[in-house]
Structure 1
Amino acid sequence: MNILLVDDEPLARERLTALLVELGGDYRVVAMAANGEQALQLCDELQVDLLLLDIRMPGIDGLTVAARLAEMATPPAVIFTTAYDEHALQAFEQNAVGYLLKPVRKQRLQQALEQAQRLTRPQLVALSVVQASSAPPLRSSYRGGLETLPIEAVIYLKAEAKYVVARHAGGELLLEESLKSLEGRYPEQLLRIHRNALVARQRLVALERGTNGGAWVRLQGCEERLEASRRHLPEIRRWLSR
């Protein structure tokens, strides 16, 4: 993963570089920028997969940089690194993959990088479509950090214990929002199949009968079959027969 570090503070860039070295893996710092103008120029000149982007900088701020990048055909992913927590909502409106508060902790950086890697490698070309989507991304504050997931990347949502698990191609994200609330927020994207499960409408490919008389749905990109309750079968059939 090619990473561009963007921060007007040299010590902040040095700390991020040191943390990336400690983490090892497939993370390469291809360049550094001290302001937004330099960042945009470097993104035009280099193959950048991800920006670790400060928000408050002289000239163009990080939020404006992210908005400009979203206009690219294949924009890089963005993880904001900032000392201020009041910009979180604006950051997620720019579809940021993560929002890390300074001083950046190694574990939180690793989690955000893994999330970004799942989005940039399998779905980099699709990311520009996600940026333009009118549907806001899912947001998780689990584990003391902030992560996002485009609703278009969701395969299914399932209630487990105190959380809702959002399954996607790269793994899962834990949400503290109820299924009822999520169903209300994304009626065009999600379909209820059970009291404890919602599925992505566009991934629903088949309804099957089990040997015990139950019903199960098959989803594109998912080997797991999910149980469908009897009360939701008519709506599932209507969607499949559209």
Structure 2
Amino acid sequence: MRIVICDDEPLARERLVRIVQESGHEVVAQATTGAEAVSVVKAKQPDVILLDIRMPEMDGVRCAQALNDLEHPPAVIFVTAYDHYAIAAFKANAIGYLLKPANKDELIEALGKAKNLNAAQLNEIRKLEDPTARPIREHIAARTHRGVELISLKDVFYFTADQKYVKVRHKDGIVLIDDTLKELEQEFGERLFRVHRNAIINLSYLDYLETVDTGQYQVRFKGINETLAVSRRHLPALRDKIQNM
């Protein structure tokens, strides 16, 4: 892939250049400010930009927003020392968020996701009748010990409320996110279904509904030996859903 690196710290740029080149990708340009990055991207049309957050003249978030307005925007991966800009970064359609110093394996993984996600997003955009519409989000952003990771919705079994966070059970484990169950329902609509006031499930992994005790039910999932309780309030709607699947 063709990559632009934007960071106002020379040592940080040099490190990213070395990792990118060792990974078999091409660094087509470097920039030290967000404004410079926008100009460079227009001229070079890279596949990906590795972007810092805190920079003079134009910060990384504003730069990403400006890049989104281009006819052929690159995939944006933030590489920064600050974790509290993650929400703003993903609102600017970033597909990766790594904390400095990002190691080689993390960066290679992010670049691999960038390649796949960018192609998928372009395909979805072509399918939309409204050229101004944006593709539906296909990934959940979660803060982990490695920074901020993207979890594909198609790999999520269920979401459950866990105090002030929401727990995401996915194919590779469990993470916590800031989204609420209500927000997830509204965003992903028919792909998710509420089975309890504290739980919504991915219908793609619903195996069957079973009786536990008199009047008590639970759902089982394809691929994992786990269950979730179904409340009496949501049971009729779930039965109807299963019959129509």
Q: Which residue of 2 aligns with 1:2?
A: 2
Closer, same or farther: CA 155–182 of 1 in aligned 2, 3 Å: farther
Larger Rg: 2
Shift of the 50–145 alpha-carbon distance from structure 1 to 2, 3 Å rule, reads same
Supply the distance in 1 between the matched residues of 2:14 and 2:100 (Cα, whole angstroms): 13
Counterpart residue number, 2:169: 164
How many aligned residue pairs are there? 212
1:75/1:127 contact within 8 Å kept: no
Code of the aligned partner of 2:169:
V
Once the two structures are TM-superposed, the CA of residue 87 in structure 1 deviates from its matched residue by 1.9
**Aligned sequence identity (%):** 33
Aligned mates of 2:239, 2:17 — CA distance in 1: 53
Per chain length, whose mean CA-contact separation is higher, i.e. which structure has more relative contact order (CA < 8 Å, sep 6+)? 1
User: Alpha carbon RMSD of aligned pairs, Å?
Assistant: 4.3
Which 10-residue stretch deviates more, 86-95 or 186-195?
186-195
TM-score (normalizing by structure 1): 0.67
- Distance in 2 between the 1:82 and 1:75 partners? 20
Unaligned runs of 5+ in 2: 160-166, 208-222
Match of 1:111 in 2: 109
Report Cα offsets for 1:193-223 as digits up to 9, x if no partner.
98884147xxx9xx9xxxxxxxxxxxxxxxx
Mapped contact 1:155–1:199 kept (Cα < 8 A): no
Aligned to 2:82: 84
Structure 1 residues 26-175: aligned runs within 5 Å: 27-126=25-124, 132=134, 138-148=140-150, 154-155=153-154, 157-159=156-158, 164-165=169-170, 175=175
CA distance in 2 between counterparts of 1:63 and 1:131 reads 21
Q: 2 CA distance for matches of 1:59 and 1:177?
A: 32
Closer/same/farther in 2, CA of residues 114 and 131 from structure 1, 3 Å limit: farther
Q: State the Cα distance separating 1:109 from its structure 2 match.
A: 1.5
Residues 66, 237 of structure 1: alpha-carbon distance in 2 compared, 3 angstrom cutoff: farther
Question: Which residue is equivalent to 2:184?
Answer: 186
Distance 2:182 2:138 in 1: 13
Distance in 1 (CA, whole Å) between partners of 2:3 and 2:100 is 18
TM-score, normalised by the number of residues in structure 2: 0.66
* CA distance in 1: counterparts of 2:38 and 2:16, whole angstroms: 19
Which structure 1 segments of 5+ residues have no match?
Answer: 167-171, 208-223
Q: Any conservation in 2 of the 1:140–1:173 contact (CA below 8 Å)?
A: no
CA distance in structure 2 between the aligned counterparts of 1:58 and 1:69, rounded to whole angstroms: 17
Distance 2:173 2:45 in 1: 28
Q: How far off is 1:137 after superposition? A: 5.4
Residue in 2 that maps onto 1:234: 240
Spell out, residue by residue over 1:100-157, the C-alpha distance to the aligned partner (whole angstroms, 9 max, x if none): 22222222212222222220233334379899468795112245221235xxx73352
Deviation at 1:44, TM superposition (A): 1.5
Cα contact 2:124–2:135 (8 A) shared by 1: no
Q: 1:182 to 1:237 in 2, by over 3 A?
A: farther
Which residue does the alignment assign to 1:212? none
Amino acid of the structure 2 residue aligned with 1:158: F
Matched residue SS, 1:99: strand
